[in-house]
Amino acid sequence: MVLEKVKAILSEQFDVEEDSITPDTSIAEDLDADSLDVVDLLMSIEDEFEIEVPDTEVENIKTVADLVKYIEDHV
**Cβ atoms of 45 and 27 closer than 8 Å:** no
CA distances, 51 to each of 20, 33, 37, 43 (Å): 26, 21, 18, 10
Contacts of 52 (CB under 8 A, 6+ apart): 46
Instruction: Kindly report the average pLDDT of the chain as a whole number.
Output: 96
Please tell me the predicted confidence (pLDDT) of residue 41: 96
Strand partners of residue 55: none
- Which residues are catalytic, by number? 34
Question: What is the share, in percent, of the chain residues with pLDDT greater than 90?
Answer: 99
Q: Quick check: pTM over 0.85? A: yes
The number of C-alpha atoms within 13 Å of 41 and in the hemisphere containing its C-beta is 30
Kindly give the confidence (pLDDT) of every residue in the chain, 75 residues in length, as a single tens digit, with 9 standing for 90 and above: 999 999 999 999 999 999 999 999 999 999 999 999 999 999 999 999 999 999 899 999 999 999 999 999 999
Give the model confidence (pLDDT) of 5-21 as tens digits.
999 999 999 999 999 99
